[in-house]
Amino acid sequence: MSANKPAAGGAVTVNTLRKLRHAGEKFVCLTAYDASFAALLDATGVEVLLVGDSLGMVVQGRETTVPVTMDEMIYHSAAVARGRRRALLMVDMPFMSYATPQQALGNAARLMQEGGAHMVKLEGGAIQVETVRQLTARGIPVCAHLGLQPQSVHRLGGYRVQGRDEQAAQQMLQDAQALQAAGADVLLVESVPVVLAEQITRAVDIPVIGIGAGPACDGQVLVLYDMLGITPGHRPKFARDFMQGQTSVRAAVEAYVQAVKSGAFPAPEHCFE
């Protein structure tokens, strides 16, 4: 086993993700919303469990993530925390729970103390620099989220690919570097062209997680229910149903882990130009 990989039973930390990036080894992330799935994903080698505010859509049946509350995020985070053993637990800060740095501090503390989070994730570019600086200065690990930002879906006019024009692409690159400088530990980029995601990954030194952002990112994440092919309605272009050809949920998750680790996923058909 590589020295850069966590030992069996060893906890995955931010430092683990950094070492995997520097070793050129991909890491795996999936959303989780309860203890049972958390235990299964953890046992199959998923390094990062994301309690996403996507639960508003795939668990609660809402049209967007906007209605999800702090109390709901804490409830699901605590459930996942009870099921995991080694995976790093990342939790979304829900809509308007980090409108100011002071508000973000209070809510991030709740996610860690009550929800068992190891890291919080928040959406936004340059506007979040001071918030990221305040959180990380106080020992709260942060994942910054660029590209498609689901909490801003009403302003964006829908779930659209971001960064396709030169100005938007350059702004995203600058935002990524500014967020890293502010102390962000991890960066997540969603629904951006492959070339831009590669440029961002090369422009920063922190681990980059992609979703609909191509194979150059250091890690990949999918919504668990998309990966299992059970999300009602339209499945995003960047998702793949890993249950096809498998006889169990565990086998499907193992297939996803292997596909990410080997670089087989995402394939060109899951990417945006």
For the residues of 132-186, what is the DSSP string, one character each? HHHHHHTT--EEEEEES-GGGHHHHTSS-----SHHHHHHHHHHHHHHHHTT-SE
Three-state DSSP class for 200?
helix
Catalytic residue among 190, 198, 254, 273: 190
pLDDT given at position 153: 74
Burial status of residue 78 (CB atoms within 10 A of its CB: 0-12, 13-18, 19 or more): middle
Q: Give me the helices (H) in 26-159, please.
A: 35-43, 55-58, 70-83, 101-113, 129-137, 153-156
What whole-number distance in Å separates Cα of residue 212 and Cα of residue 82?
A: 30
Query: Do 266 and 215 touch, CB atoms closer than 8 A?
Result: yes
What are the average pLDDT values for consecutive 10-residue runs of the chain, which has 273 residues? Answer: 46 97 98 98 98 97 95 98 98 98 98 98 97 98 95 69 93 98 98 97 98 97 97 90 97 98 97 93
Global confidence as pTM: 0.94
Residue 233 CB contacts under 8 Å (≥ 6 apart), including other chains: none
14-270 CATH choice from 3.20.20.60, 3.20.10.10, 3.30.70.260, 3.90.660.10: 3.20.20.60
Residue among 263, 251, 267, 269 nearest 26 (CA): 263
Strand partners, 50: 31, 90
- Cβ count within 10 A of residue 137: 11
Give catalytic status of residue 63 as yes or no.
no
What whole-number distance in Å separates Cα of residue 184 and Cα of residue 90?
A: 13
All structural domains of the chain with their residue ranges: 14-270
Query: Do 92 and 53 touch, CB atoms closer than 8 A?
Result: yes
